[in-house]
Each structure stands twice: as structure tokens, then as C-alpha cells.
Amino acid sequence: MANTHPSDPSSQTPAIQVIERIFKLMDLLASRQEAMSLKEISEKTQLHPSTAHRILNDLALGHYIDRPESGTYRLGMRFLELGNLVKARLNVRDAALEPMRNLHHLIEQSVNLSLRQGDEIVYIERAYSERSGMQVVRAIGGRAPLHLTSVGKLFLAAEDPVKMRAYAQRTKLFGNTTNSITHLDALELELSKVKQSGVARDNEELELGVRCMACGIYDDEHQLVAGLSISAPADRLDAQWLAHLQSTALEISKALGDAQ
């Protein structure tokens, strides 16, 4: 048996030989879009044709394997059913909670998780400590306009330009502070920077004395589903926190199945 690290399940050999063979077959079929012949499967996995044939036929009984033509095999629809069950179980809040806490312990400032609802973002989770002073804490359930927040800008930047302009027309881009972006051309320029960098910022646009930075969280189809942000007093927001924010958002995205 190979010498493997106990904390890395992908490097371990199954205790039951037939399961190891099943894994080989599944990984091979998953790497190909088209159906494969038994001969090619046997050659690629180094399994005897009779062994591969027996396992594949048994898997076909449970719809884990399809046989589109006699002697050819591909992954079956059962995997789609199981994948959808796993996807439904993945909750962005659950995936984000522990990474958010770790980020908060590192920077000692408020970390927020937000979703888009209509023309606003909604704060659905936060990580902060009552013992740490000078933090900006957003209330869970609180709302704010998209164009005035860092996370909201992520969603606007990901939007079709026509829809983004429709948002501007609906909301009139009203401002909260003297720093608020209230003109379409200025917002378009800001959003082009967000698209280029993948990072959005709120420079005292929602609330004077508060600055934020945000990165996107993506699902298994690389769709933007949430935003992770750091809020801090304007004179304390540290540019060096950005790398930690980016790595945390990436960690959460991977937990949701994003592979990009």
C-alpha cells in the first residue's frame, strides 16, 4: 500500500479492492464526454476486460452507468441526481461561517456576508467581537442600495450593462453622503474597475467614516451568489487585508463547488 498522509483522503487507497477499481472506472468515465468502449476502458484502467465488464454492468443496474450502445459505457443520470442533492445541501452561510471567523480573528475587524435581493444587498451573517473596539458592525438583516456598497457593486459589475442602467434609472442613484456615486457615468467607470480587479470598495459612500472592501463568492457554475466584505473605520482600513479577504472568498467559493 502506498505511503499516504492520513489527512488527505484523495491520496489514500481504499481498503476494499473492488471499491478502488470502481473509483478508477468512475474517474476515467468522468474525464470523457463521449461513451467509451470496454476495450479502451480496460486499457486505460489496466483492469482485465472481464473485471471491468462485471463492475460496469453491476453499476448500470443502479443507473450509475449508462450503455448508449452495446459495448460502450458512460456515467449515468444517477450522478446528476446525487449531485443536485449535494448542491441543494450546500448553503452559502454554512460554508462561509468558519472562514469568516478565521478572517475576523486575523484582522480584528468586522467581516460581513451579503446577498442580493432586488435592488439591495442584505447582510445575512457577520463575524465580529464585542471585545474589540472601533469595529463597524452591520446588523444581520440590514439592507443597503447596491450602488452605495462594496458588495452591491460586485453584483452590478456582474450585471448586463442594459440591466445595470435600468437599475440606475429605477433608483435614481440617490446618495447617502457627499462621497456617494450619484451619476451613471461615474458608476460605470467604477464598475469597470471592479470588473478588472475583482474587488469592490465603498469609500464612505454609504456612511461617512466607514470604508469597505469586498470580493465575490461563486457557486459551482461560477455564478456570483454572495459577497464577502470587510468594514472598518475609514482611517483603519488596511490595504494589506485584501489578500486575506481574497483567499477567504476563494475558500468559501471552493466549498460551494466553484472550480475556477
In this prediction, residue 247 carries a pLDDT of 97
For residues 183 and 239, what is the distance between their CA atoms, to the nearest angstrom?
27
Answer whether residue 3 is part of any domain. no
What percent of the chain has a predicted confidence (pLDDT) above 70? 89
- Please say which residue of 64, 87, 110 terminates a domain: 87
**What is the band of 78 on the pLDDT scale with cuts at 50, 70, 90?**
confident
pLDDT averaged over the chain? 89
Answer whether residue 175 is part of any domain. yes
pLDDT above 80 (res 85): no
In a shared domain, residues 247 and 187: yes
In a shared domain, residues 127 and 173: yes
Average pLDDT, stretch 61-89?
83
Domain count of the fold of the chain: 2
CATH of the domain at 242: 3.30.450.40
**What is the band of 136 on the pLDDT scale with cuts at 50, 70, 90?**
low
In a shared domain, residues 80 and 98: no
In this prediction, residue 16 carries a pLDDT of 84
Answer whether residue 4 is part of any domain. no
In this prediction, residue 1 carries a pLDDT of 37
In a shared domain, residues 80 and 112: no
Give yes or no for a contact between 79 and 191, defined as CB atoms under 8 angstroms apart.
Answer: no
In a shared domain, residues 95 and 46: no
pLDDT above 80 (res 2): no
CATH of the domain at 77: 1.10.10.10
In this prediction, residue 140 carries a pLDDT of 84
**Domain housing 244:** 90-255
In this prediction, residue 5 carries a pLDDT of 43
In a shared domain, residues 173 and 210: yes
pLDDT above 60 (res 179): yes
In this prediction, residue 123 carries a pLDDT of 92
Answer whether residue 1 is part of any domain. no
Cell 480496460 belongs to residue? 42
Least confident of 54-68, 154-168, 192-206: 54-68
Average pLDDT, stretch 170-199?
96
pLDDT above 90 (res 4): no
In this prediction, residue 138 carries a pLDDT of 74
Comparing 30 with 103, the larger pLDDT belongs to 103
In a shared domain, residues 116 and 219: yes
In this prediction, residue 191 carries a pLDDT of 98
In a shared domain, residues 18 and 145: no
In this prediction, residue 202 carries a pLDDT of 96
In this prediction, residue 230 carries a pLDDT of 96
In a shared domain, residues 113 and 239: yes
For residues 172 and 189, what is the distance between their CA atoms, to the nearest angstrom?
17
Answer whether residue 143 is part of any domain. yes
Tens digit of each residue's pLDDT (9 = 90 or more) over 160-170: 999 999 999 99
In this prediction, residue 45 carries a pLDDT of 93
